[in-house]
Structure 1
Amino acid sequence: MTAPLPRSLDPAAGEILPGYLLRLAHRLAVAPLELGHLCGLTTGTVFPARHLVRLKDTQAQQVADVCRLHPAEAHALTLAGQAPGYTPLRIDYLGRHQSPVTMANDGWVLTAFSRYCPDCLSDTAHLPGGPVWQGSWRLPHTFLCERHNRLLAWQCPACRAPAFSNGYRSDGRWRPTQLIPAPAQRLHPARCRHRPGAGRVAACGQLLDQTGGPPLRPTPAMTHAHRRLAEAATAGAGREVASLGQRVSAQWFFNDVRATVSALLGSWPHPQNTLEAFGAMDALAPPEALHRTHPERSGELGDGRVARTFGHPPADTFLAATLMALTVAILDDSRGHHVLARLLSALPSTSTAHIRLRQHAPHCSPAMTEAIRGSVRLPRKSTGQPSLFPQPATHRGRLDPRTIPAVLPEHWAAPLDGLDAPRRQLRRDAAIRLVQMATGRSRRSAALYLGIPLGSLQSSTVTIRTWQKRPENAEAYQSALQRVAEMVMAEGQRNESGAPAG
């Protein structure tokens, strides 16, 4: 066991692991890489970026022991700990199992660099070890600082490289990301750590807490979008947000956001006329601004400034703010599904956006799924008669089927009580669907897993399917199931954290 450090730091509000270790290393006058070795986060010369996403319990314990923290404080220093409602950070996302390495290289997690507020860095410079890098700055939908009413910066004013990044090669490709760039070099936390070359080349070293010019101010639409996205990202179990006129889980909302971004970028320049008629452009930048994302994506600039794949917010803060404000305006409006239908109808059937929307549709809100279905031909999973009201495995890897009883406890069933459905059959059906959400089993297999007799399965199936066919019942039921699943997962996490050590 590694001995605790003689001195440590209390994490600041909103701080995440890279910034915390950088401040602590500066206070102790050691290289961040040396501190990473002590904390058990690396054994070589590379500082893996996957620790930014989440920590294993053993890793969190060692970080806590070395830095004199509680393990819960160590977990809270990760993006997953700070943004529980942000679905790209979940292990099971869009029906696929994600590893922390996969997430650390996903453009929707945006771990290749960090946006930042120079004023915030300046305001926290007096803290022990230096200024604080906020965790929310690493998320692609965070593009402004409301405290200072400014769009975040994203480049070093001296070398023009993306801030807090490991930089990019001469051909424009990103170098492999690291938890802390140039980890072997001792630098003040406010200084740019980008290295213009390879090997032992010194980092840029420019102070990033100096603005270098007047800040860009957000429009009201940008501020509104930022608040909506931040609210959803921090939403806990059972909380709902609005999307396309419905109350949905944060998971569905962010999947709707991703689908809308794909529709906007994939159908460009068609959105110009559609959105001008829609009225979403009134408080935003000229529609031509978004067109500037295309040469960056195609690599014509050759400087690696934009994230690695198509379909997510660009690195440039102004362009990202414009895109996300348009996205939220569509999802907020009662006519949003009509606007989406026009955008989707302009997508070529062989386009990347068209292909991705086919993959994402089953994981979006019911309203978004229907909008996509109207313009994009969705694949059928099997031949023969399609299942009526199928239940996708939306919570595989996050929801433990062993915790689900055949009869739901009263407090779990609370979200179902507001539905006008036969109470007993609905609770039995909900238990079956929770197992399907957790495992991907067929309905029959899930019922057998719970020990429900096939006769009871048939009875509840007939009753609940008849009820689901009535207008809006199916959507309301799915929304309630999402809340039940969040409650089950939250209770499981509390039980794990409160269990006595064996």
Structure 2
Amino acid sequence: MTNTPLPRSLDPVTNELLPGYLLRLAHRLALPPLDLGHLCGLTTGPIFPARHLVRLDAAQAQEIADICRLHPAEVHALTLAGQAPGYTPLRIDYLGRHQSSVTMANDGWVLTAFSRYCPDCLTDTAQLPGGPVWQGAWRLPHTFLCERHNRLLAWQCPACHAPAFSNGYRSDGRWRPTQLIPAPGQRLNPARCRHRAGSGRASACGQPLDQPTGEHLPRPTPAMTHAHRRLAEAATAGADHEVTSLGQRVSAQSFFNDVRATVSAIRGSWPLACEVFAELGSMDAVTAHVDALRRPHPERTTALGDGRVARTFGHPPADPLPAAALMALTVAILDNPNGHHTLAPLLSALPSTSTAHIRLRQHATHCSPTMTAVLRGVVRLPQKAVGKPALFPQPATHRGRLDPRTIPAVLPEHWTTPLDELDAPRRQLRRDAAIRLVQMATGRSRRSAALYLGIPLGSLHSATVTIRPWQKEPGNAVAYQNALHRVAEIAIADGEGDPRGASAR
């Protein structure tokens, strides 16, 4: 493998993802996308790993940049992590668990197993070098409409009726493993359907997707458009950006966890929410989606059933219409400062053994304080599952993302904005936060982290005994943990902009 630049290349288009860029470049060079993937060092075999869609390490990004005559920053911008930094499921430490890029590529809350698309957008970009552009946001499960053309996105090929830009599903209804580019060994215009039927060895469908589908979808309602904007704003937010959820300003991370909890509550108790928000429209689409999820497992996974439902169980619907209606419901609840009164009866209706109830137990601690309080009071979660203890052990949630060498014992002023919003002893809290940041980056013990920063053990003890009573007050430990995650993201952003930080990584 050499890093010899290609004879010709392309400039990435704003909001374009790596699969779409490689498709356009391969089409321009008259190469199968898989051959281009070999040249760029993204694969060595017949499979095009989808994990590259999530994020790239520095070496991979540099190799692609050298081959395609790009800057590494342009390459990183072709990943979902680069385009949606505020979208919680794309975090390595999502819900307190370390997840790999492979895990994320197969999680329906991270990205769809296919790509929705706007035929009009594909038409508008058809004359660009290499062909039409597939937008990055189309892969996110909460992106269901195109505001520019005021239409719901399409998701199926009008000819083969399979999900567009997908590796398809087997005859038993299960999805084939997601690939970065479906049918990567075949040369096709980027706007052509790449789904392969049967065993997957057949030729791709090849139907043009940049033409009117003949499907008469309803226009997005104002509630759908508003929900789409709210979710897109939070997904692209920076580390210090806050959004409103249940009447409180919270991090984008907490907001998306509230979204996931609300979706579980709505679907698990359906049709209760429909009775409250019937005026939002398209509730019959949500009903059809929920009915499909409630079918017996064999019916959901056989060739005669809707195999795609198996992928969407517990995740946003694949079909943009029920997805739009469900997200409009969700955002309507979270936009209301009294939304917790709406959530309470929905949560009360969930059987304690239901899948939705189990999921809520798993991520309740990562929601906003108001959502956590609702879950505690209605779902009756164990106390240990609804909040951090006063002196919670600090897990290594940012190992590999946050460089401990960039963390000073005295935090810079612009890092401490999230801490200053807390009603806590200012000096001791900043010192405690610096120690915890090192723990988040390395997994060290509290004592070892303090010594790493050069903080004397006497000062460590002083900070501990001062912060402990404050942390024991209701809600403070959760608010502190949320603030620490925001500080960590600011520190990471600073490190990425600092050449010394980049080299250290």
- Same fold by TM-score greater than 0.5: yes
| Contact 1:413–1:484, Cα closer than 8 Å, also in 2 | yes
Deviation at 1:216, TM superposition (A): 3.0
Give the whole-Å Cα distance in 1 for the aligned partners of 2:500 and 2:288: 48
Q: Which has the higher helix share?
A: 2
After superposition, where does 1:366-445 map in structure 2 within 5 Å?
A: 366-379=369-382, 387-388=389-390, 390=392, 393=395, 395-397=397-399, 398-438=401-441
Of the structure 1 ranges 410-419 and 138-147, higher mean CA displacement relative to structure 2 is found in 410-419
Q: Residue 292 of structure 1: SS of its match in structure 2?
A: helix
Of the structure 1 ranges 450-459 and 135-144, higher mean CA displacement relative to structure 2 is found in 450-459
Q: Which amino acid aligns with 2:144?
A: F
Q: Which residue in the other structure is 1:134 paired with? A: 135
Structure 1 position 491 matched with structure 2 position 487: no
The one-character-per-residue Cα deviations of 1:433-456 (angstroms, maximum 9, x if unpaired) are: 434544566766655665545554
Give the whole-Å Cα distance in 2 for the aligned partners of 1:102 and 1:350: 26
Q: Which residue in the other structure is 1:156 paired with? A: 157
Q: Which residue in the other structure is 1:81 paired with? A: 82
The one-character-per-residue Cα deviations of 1:389-408 (angstroms, maximum 9, x if unpaired) are: 63664833333445433332
Q: Which residue in the other structure is 1:293 paired with? A: 289
1:146/1:250 Cα in 2 relative to 1: closer, same or farther (>3 Å)?
same
Q: Which residue in the other structure is 2:240 paired with? A: 238
| Contact 1:63–1:74, Cα closer than 8 Å, also in 2 | yes
Of the structure 1 ranges 390-399 and 52-61, higher mean CA displacement relative to structure 2 is found in 390-399
| Contact 1:142–1:226, Cα closer than 8 Å, also in 2 | yes
Give the whole-Å Cα distance in 1 for the aligned partners of 2:393 and 2:279: 40
Q: Which residue in the other structure is 1:283 paired with? A: 280
| Aligned residues between the structures | 493
1:222/1:105 Cα in 2 relative to 1: closer, same or farther (>3 Å)?
same
Give the whole-Å Cα distance in 2 for the aligned partners of 1:13 and 1:112: 22
Structure 1 position 218 matched with structure 2 position 230: no
Q: Which residue in the other structure is 1:348 paired with? A: 351
Q: Which residue in the other structure is 2:322 paired with? A: 319
Q: Which residue in the other structure is 2:108 paired with? A: 107
Structure 1 position 45 matched with structure 2 position 46: yes
Q: Which amino acid aligns with 1:283?
A: L
Q: Residue 249 of structure 2: SS of its match in structure 1?
A: strand
Deviation at 1:270, TM superposition (A): 3.2
Structure 1 position 17 matched with structure 2 position 9: no
Q: Residue 309 of structure 2: SS of its match in structure 1?
A: coil
Q: Which residue in the other structure is 1:365 paired with? A: 368
The gaps in structure 2 that reach 5 residues or longer are: none
TM-score calculated relative to the size of structure 2: 0.90
Q: Which amino acid aligns with 2:183?
A: A
Give the whole-Å Cα distance in 2 for the aligned partners of 1:365 and 1:470: 17
Give the whole-Å Cα distance in 2 for the aligned partners of 1:345 and 1:500: 52
Q: Residue 97 of structure 1: SS of its match in structure 2?
A: coil
Give the whole-Å Cα distance in 2 for the aligned partners of 1:434 and 1:340: 34
Give the whole-Å Cα distance in 1 for the aligned partners of 2:397 and 2:144: 29
Of the structure 1 ranges 450-459 and 209-218, higher mean CA displacement relative to structure 2 is found in 450-459
Deviation at 1:463, TM superposition (A): 3.5
Q: Residue 413 of structure 2: SS of its match in structure 1?
A: coil
| Contact 2:389–2:477, Cα closer than 8 Å, also in 1 | no
Give the whole-Å Cα distance in 1 for the aligned partners of 2:11 and 2:500: 21
Give the whole-Å Cα distance in 1 for the aligned partners of 2:11 and 2:310: 33
Give the whole-Å Cα distance in 2 for the aligned partners of 1:137 and 1:459: 51
| Contact 2:280–2:325, Cα closer than 8 Å, also in 1 | no
1:37/1:440 Cα in 2 relative to 1: closer, same or farther (>3 Å)?
closer
Structure 1 position 253 matched with structure 2 position 278: no
State the Cα RMSD in Å.
2.6
Q: Which amino acid aligns with 1:248?
A: V
The one-character-per-residue Cα deviations of 1:322-381 (angstroms, maximum 9, x if unpaired) are: 111111111111111222222211111111111111110111222211111112343466
Q: Which amino acid aligns with 1:49?
A: A
| Contact 1:362–1:392, Cα closer than 8 Å, also in 2 | no
Deviation at 1:492, TM superposition (A): 1.8
The gaps in structure 1 that reach 5 residues or longer are: none
Give the whole-Å Cα distance in 2 for the aligned partners of 1:461 and 1:295: 53
Give the whole-Å Cα distance in 1 for the aligned partners of 2:444 and 2:233: 33
Q: Which amino acid aligns with 2:237?
A: A
Q: Which residue in the other structure is 2:269 paired with? A: 267
Give the whole-Å Cα distance in 2 for the aligned partners of 1:309 and 1:211: 26
Deviation at 1:415, TM superposition (A): 3.4
Q: Residue 47 of structure 2: SS of its match in structure 1?
A: coil
1:306/1:211 Cα in 2 relative to 1: closer, same or farther (>3 Å)?
farther
Q: Residue 308 of structure 2: SS of its match in structure 1?
A: coil
Of the structure 1 ranges 429-438 and 8-17, higher mean CA displacement relative to structure 2 is found in 429-438
| Contact 2:77–2:83, Cα closer than 8 Å, also in 1 | yes
Q: Residue 243 of structure 2: SS of its match in structure 1?
A: strand
Identity fraction in percent:
76
